[in-house]
Structure formats: C-alpha cells, structure tokens
C-alpha cells in the first residue's frame, strides 16, 4: 500500500453513511451527474506543499507499510489514513456538517505467534484531534498520527498507532527524493484521461520502531514504504477490484506494480514501475503478469489468490506471505473485507525483497 492502486480507498462512501448517519451524496447531486470534484490533471508536483492534504479532491490517503526484524521473528505493520470529501454544501455553517471524513486503518502481523492484530477508526474531520494539514504530511486521528519532519539529519516520518493488545511507534527515515509515479506524479488508472491520481512514493525508508504486543515491548529495525495519493475518480467501467504491490528490493531498488481486474479475474489495466537504488527506472520488469499460485480461504469465507506468482517472460517470481491470515475487516470504517499483508518476493529459493500486497474485490465487486 494502499482505491485502485490509487483509487484503492474509494469505498469510503459506504463508511460515510455509517459515520454521518445518512448518505453523504444528496439525491439531487449524484457524482455521476455533477462535476462536483476537480479532475486530476498533469502538473508538476510542488513539495513540501503536495506532501500535505488536498481537501478539494474526492479522496486521499497516506499509506505506510514496513517489515521489522528478521527471520522467524519478523513482523509486518501498516498505518493508513484516508480523507474523503463528501458532497455536503461547503457553505453549511454547522461545524457538525460531514463535509470531510477521516478514516484510519492499522495492523501488525506477528508471524511467530500466528497473530494478526488490526484496528480501524472513522469520524468527521475537524478540530485538534482529527486533522489533515495542507502544508505538509501531518495527519492525526486522536492518539494515532503520521507526520513528516525535516531536520538536520534529513527527512523522517514519525507515526504511532495502537489497538487492543498492541501498539507501535516508529521513525522512518528517507534517504532518497520522492518517487513520482506515472508521468511526473500523474498516475493513470485506466484508458481515459480522467481515470488518474496524483501519486508519489517514499521508498526505501529505514525504520526504527517500538512494538508492544501484550505486555512485551521490543525495539526493532527494518525497511518501510510510504505512498501518498489523491484523486476524484471511481474505478473504470467493468472493474471489480485490484491487486497492488510495493517491494523494497534487497539491492536498494524498489518495485511497484498494480493490476485492475474484471469479473473474470483478468487484468483490464496494469502498470509496473521498477527503480534502481538511485531511484532511476530499472529494466527487467516490463511486461509483468500476475497469476494465482493457490487459494486461501479467510474467516470471511473469501478466497484470495495467495500465494501469487509474477511472470516476466519465462521468469517466475513468487510473492510469499509472512503469514496467511492478514485479512482486514474494515466493516466499521471504509467497509468490507480485503487482504493486505506483508510478503516476500522470491525467485526460486532466492530472496529478492520484502514489502506489502493488497488484494481487493475478491469476495464481491467493490461497491463505490
């Protein structure tokens, strides 16, 4: 992670109805009929401004995942904040009007205990404890937060989240500039010009974390990945879900790929972006194809295509999950179930890197 690999969080409409107690979309102003949101258009991203929130757009997310520790004691974690602009009139003077909603998901995968811990939150954006600043990355939902800090030692993303029986605090340091996805940060999600997002990544990040599980706290180090995207568009016609992948390669490079699927489980739009250790485009991953290498049934009774194979020509790579049980139950926030978990990228017995895989739309087509 983390709406298609850019619109991967647009199920927020469902959550908006639960949070506000009513539909966020007035019947007379359906998004399909009224150009309520500004379209995403190609432009040069401007930092640090574009590290911050873009409240005029329909949806936005800040998504940080990471691997901590090594070998059998390794853990995976993710923290995601979503901002959603509803179609309530902005001139409504009530401070309770749900014009902007804020959601948060967090999870910790403890493989050696076969424990997957997760929590999620939902509420109206506003006030000192639920905020998404426009000047820089600084998002907070009560005692959870994610913010970017620029110091003498460089850029650091700090974060904290906690749930029942677990808590994580981390510092994730960036040594490289932002990786602009697509055309200088304009990332297409379909054949039409409007099917796009603004999208950049920060990877790899060196991460240090304090991880508490039960009464035990550990200090761990590892690698992390950060995505930030904002968009106004829905899934393209015929799409039921998507698969997204972000891998920190052991050689210092990165691999990001996604495919948007139809109801036949076939890719109707796909993209791959591989970079070397200096952030330059890397060869060897063009023409990447996804293929299920098995099926795993979750508690939701959804069958996920895990493990997953990636093919480039006649070369096969496998995405091996840190643990199978990494399904997220987001019914109390953004709605529904999806699989989002820590994976290793293997070629035969050779380890190439670690990262995160997201699988959506498998139990039923996403309802946006």
Nearest to 185 by CA among 44, 3, 8: 44
Give dist(CA 150, CA 81) in Å, integer: 21
Q: What is the pLDDT along the chain (368 residues), one digit of tens a residue?
A: 444 554 444 444 434 443 433 333 333 333 344 468 999 999 999 999 999 999 999 999 999 999 999 988 999 999 999 999 998 776 666 666 788 999 999 999 999 999 999 999 999 999 899 999 999 999 999 999 999 999 877 899 999 999 999 999 999 999 999 999 999 999 999 988 889 999 999 999 999 999 999 999 999 999 999 999 999 987 888 888 999 999 999 999 999 999 999 988 889 999 999 999 999 999 999 999 999 999 999 999 999 999 999 999 999 999 999 999 999 887 766 667 889 999 999 999 999 999 999 999 998 777 65
- Cβ atoms < 10 Å from Cβ of 349: 5
Instruction: Please name the helix (run of DSSP H) or strand (run of DSSP E) that holds residue 144, with its range, or none.
Output: strand 144-151
- Cβ atoms < 10 Å from Cβ of 92: 11
Which domains does the chain carry? 12-359 (2.40.370.10)
DSSP string, 293-336: ---EE-TTS-EE--SEEEEETTEEEEEEES-S--EEE-TTTT-S
Q: Is the peptide bond before 58 cis (omega within 30 degrees of 0)?
A: no
Residue in the block written with tokens 């808590």: 167
Give dist(CA 171, CA 205) in Å, integer: 9
Q: Report the half-sphere exposure of 366 (CA within 13 A, side-chain side).
A: 29
């Amino acid at each position: 992670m983390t709406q298609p690999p850019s619109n991967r969080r647009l199920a927020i409409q469902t959550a908006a109805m639960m949070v506000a107690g009513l539909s966020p979309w007035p019947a007379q102003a359906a998004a399909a009929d009224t150009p309520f949101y500004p379209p995403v258009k190609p432009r040069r991203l401007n930092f640090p401004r574009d590290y911050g929130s873009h409240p005029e757009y329909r949806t936005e997310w800040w998504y940080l995942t990471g691997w901590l520790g090594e070998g059998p004691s390794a853990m995976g974690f993710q923290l995601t904040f979503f901002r959603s602009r509803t179609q309530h009139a902005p001139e409504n003077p009530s401070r309770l009007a749900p014009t902007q909603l804020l959601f948060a998901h967090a999870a910790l995968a403890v493989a050696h205990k076969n424990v997957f811990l997760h929590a999620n939150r939902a509420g109206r954006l506003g006030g000192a404890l639920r905020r998404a600043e426009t000047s820089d990355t600084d998002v907070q939902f009560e005692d959870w937060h994610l913010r970017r800090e620029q110091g003498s030692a460089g850029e650091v993303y700090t974060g904290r989240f906690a749930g029942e029986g677990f808590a994580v605090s981390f510092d994730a340091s960036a040594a490289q500039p932002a990786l602009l996805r697509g055309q200088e940060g304009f990332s297409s999600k379909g054949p039409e010009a409007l099917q796009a997002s603004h999208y950049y990544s920060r990877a790899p990040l060196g991460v240090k974390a304090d991880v508490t599980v039960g009464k035990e706290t550990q200090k761990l180090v590892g690698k992390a990945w950060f995505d930030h995207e904002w968009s106004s568009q829905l899934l393209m016609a015929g799409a039921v879900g998507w698969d997204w992948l972000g891998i920190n390669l052991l050689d210092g490079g990165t691999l990001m790929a996604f495919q948007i699927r139809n109801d036949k489980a076939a890719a109707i739009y796909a993209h791959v972006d591989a970079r070397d250790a200096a952030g330059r485009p890397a060869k060897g991953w063009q023409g990447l194809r996804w293929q299920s290498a098995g099926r795993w049934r979750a508690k939701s009774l959804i069958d996920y295509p895990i493990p997953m194979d990636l093919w480039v020509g006649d070369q096969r790579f496998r995405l091996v999950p840190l643990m199978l049980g990494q399904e997220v139950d987001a019914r109390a926030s953004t709605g529904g179930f999806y699989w989002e978990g820590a994976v290793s990228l293997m070629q035969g017995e050779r380890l190439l890197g670690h990262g995160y895989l997201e699988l959506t739309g498998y139990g039923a087509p996403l309802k946006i």
